[in-house]
Amino acid sequence: MKIVVIGGSGLIGSKLVPKLREHGHEAVAASPNSGVNTVTGEGLAEVLKGASVVVDVSNAPAWEDAAVMSFFETSTRNLLNGEAAAGVKHHVALSVVGTDRLSESGYFRAKIVQEKLIKNGTIPYTIVQATQFFEFLKQLADISFDGKTVRVPHGLFQPMAADDVASAVGKVAVGQPLNGTVEIGGPETFRIDELVRRRLAPLNDSREVIADPNDLYSGAKLDERTLVPGKDARLGETHFADWLKSSASQPPTAKLPSAAVATATKQS
Ligand SMILES: NC(=O)c1ccc[n+]([C@@H]2O[C@H](COP(=O)([O-])OP(=O)(O)OC[C@H]3O[C@@H](n4cnc5c(N)ncnc54)[C@H](OP(=O)(O)O)[C@@H]3O)[C@@H](O)[C@H]2O)c1
């Protein structure tokens, strides 16, 4: 089966493509680096020819409110139109657990629009909402640093390894479209400040980490469980302590709600 992975060069995409190939699929990594741009449309019709499934694990290169909205709206419209023309049977998109509860955030308003376009479109779909990636924690600390302390929002989250995200998205991609949303998350729930502290320790990063109830996540106020998935979430196997011991815990780290968090941190 030909499966086109939009954002195939990114953190999740670069793990997903080899997994799909290992299972005998013709997985094609598509992104501006390989001549496929979902915003301009460059290379899109060509790469979609003969594809049965499209997996969108792309992310916006700029995260100011207007830029991120323009990216997800234009990219998703172009993709869905291209898929309709090419006869694609399943559109899979990676989103974030709690997206619908985070509409105070410009980044998440853009993800809400992305999800709506998919739900209202004609291509059978599955939206996979993932929790934060372990690989994102160091970056979360960096963008939450005010020069003296790392200030993160008060609340719980249930992050997961990027490798488990890729495995879960891969399973969805080769399955039937659900025309619905599945949540995926890590095996354990943590306080955000606790886990950022545990991430920094082995990096010999001695910055103080505090939970600030007034701090915003990507511009949005969090409740205790805003970022926590529901009871039906499919859970990854990798525990944080094991991930920390693995090579996957070496920088560089993931990008994403990060820049939006940075903006939010400045705003807060
Ligand atoms: N970080 C988290 O904790 C988290 C949690 C849950 C869900 N997510 C979601 O996960 C998704 C992927 O995140 P990620 O961290 O894996 O992303 P990433 O590493 O930042 O990769 C972004 C990818 O998007 C591609 N891209 C950028 N502009 C494009 C365009 N115009 N056309 C086609 N492709 C384009 C990039 O291609 P080039 O390399 O060619 O530029 C790259 O392959 C995002 O949608 C995000 O919302 C993230």
Q: What is the pLDDT of residues 204-257, one digit of tens each?
A: 999 999 999 889 999 999 999 999 999 999 999 999 999 999 988 986 545 545
Residues 184, 66: Cα–Cα separation, whole Å: 28
* Nearest CA, atom 30, ligand 1: 37
Mean pLDDT of 142-166: 96
Instruction: Annotate the chain with DSSP letters as a single string.
Output: -EEEEETTTSTTHHHHHHHHHHTT-EEEEESGGGT--TTT-TTHHHHHTT-SEEEE----S--SHHHHHHHHHHHHHHHHHHHHHHT--EEEEEEETTGGG-TTSHHHHHHHHHHHHHHHSSS-EEEEEE--BGGGHHHHHHHTB-SS-EEEESSEE--B-HHHHHHHHHHHHTS---SEEEEEE-S--EEHHHHHHHHHGGGT----EEEETT--BTTBPPPTTTB---TTPEEPS--HHHHHHSGGGSSS---SHHHHHHHHHHH-
For the whole model, what pTM was predicted? 0.94
* Nearest CA, atom 48, ligand 1: 256
Ligand 1 cavity residues, CB under 6 Å: 6-7, 9-13, 31-33, 36-39, 57-59, 61, 75, 94, 96, 130, 132-133, 136, 254-257
Mean pLDDT of 48-73: 97
Percent of the residues in the chain that have a pLDDT greater than 90, as a whole number: 89
* Nearest CA, atom 5, ligand 1: 132
Please, which pLDDT band fits residue 261 given cuts at 50, 70 and 90? very low
pLDDT digits (tens, 9 = 90+) for 170-180: 999 999 999 99
Provide the mean pLDDT of the chain: 93
Comparing C-alpha atoms, which of 122, 105, 230 is closest to residue 179? 122
Residues listed for the chain = 268
Angle between helices 162-173 and 13-22 (to 10 degrees): 50
pLDDT digits (tens, 9 = 90+) for 35-46: 999 999 999 999
Letter string b/e over residues 160-186, b meaning 16 or more CB atoms within 10 A of that residue's CB: bbbbbbbbbbbebbbeeeeeebbbbbb
- State the closest ligand 1 atom to the C-alpha of 97, by its place in the atom list counted from 1: 6
Q: Considering Cα of 161, then 165, then 171, then 174, what sign does the dihedral take?
A: negative
C-alpha distance from residue 29 to each of 25, 36, 113, 135 (Å)? 12, 9, 24, 21
- State the closest ligand 1 atom to the C-alpha of 107, by its place in the atom list counted from 1: 47
pLDDT of residue 260: 46
Distance 148 CA to ligand 1 centre (A): 30
Is it the case that residue 18 has pLDDT exceeding 70?
yes
Residue predicted with more confidence, 63 or 18: 18
Please, which pLDDT band fits residue 5 given cuts at 50, 70 and 90? very high
pLDDT digits (tens, 9 = 90+) for 98-133: 999 999 999 999 999 999 999 999 999 999 999 999
Is it the case that residue 259 has pLDDT exceeding 60?
no
Residue predicted with more confidence, 27 or 213: 27
